[in-house]
Amino acid sequence: MYLVADINVEICAAKSCKLCTQYCPEANTILYSDEMGKDQGFKYGSAYVAVDRCKGCAQCVWVCDNMAKNNAIKMIMIDQLPKAALTDNITYGEKSTTAVLASPVVG
């Protein structure tokens, strides 16, 4: 098993700084969804991780903890994530994306 980044929607949707989306070295990996936060009653949308593209470097964790001071991202073993976003389940919209969360582990 290996580590991937996991973003706490509750904390992220309260601030919505989007710094992690700008500092992730991998393209199309940390994405942003308006629905993920607002539909759950939070003020803003939330960032989320396409775990099939995450290489587990944890730069987003440093940025979230030290630059944004939000402490919203943790590294977690992928088989400990009940549901996560995968590239195949992500839909791009005009100004945001939406993701259908599913178990990231096959079988």
Partner 1 sequence: MSLDYVKFSNGFEKFMPKEYRDMVEHGPFGKKVSVSQVGSFKEVLEEHPMCAGCAMTLFIRLAMVAFPNPEDTITVGTAGCGRLAISQAAIPFVYGNYGDQNGVASGLSRGLRLRFGDKPKDVVVMAGDGGTADIGFQQVLHSWFRKERFTTIMLDNEVYGNTGGQESGMTNRGAVLKMAPLGKKFEKMDMVQMAKVAGCAYVATVVPNNPRRVESVIKKAVLIAREVGSTYIQAYTSCNIEYAIPTDKVMEDAKAVENDRYQFTEYVSEEAKQYLTERYGYKEFLAKPAAAIPNKA
Chain contacts with partner 1 (rule: CB under 8 A): 18, 21-28, 30-32, 47, 53, 55-59, 61-63, 66-67, 87-88, 92-93, 95-97
Of 62 and 100, the one with the shorter C-beta distance to partner 1 is 62
d(CA 20, CA 30): 7
Closest CA to 13 of 34, 41, 42, 33: 42
The length of the chain is: 107
DSSP 13-45: HHH---HHHHH-SSTTSEEEEHHHHHTTT-SS-
Name the minimum Å distance from CB 60 to partner 1: 9
Q: Which is nearer to partner 1, 23 or 42 (CB)?
A: 23
CB of 30 to partner 1, least distance (A): 6
Q: How far is the CB of 59 from partner 1 (least distance, A)?
A: 6
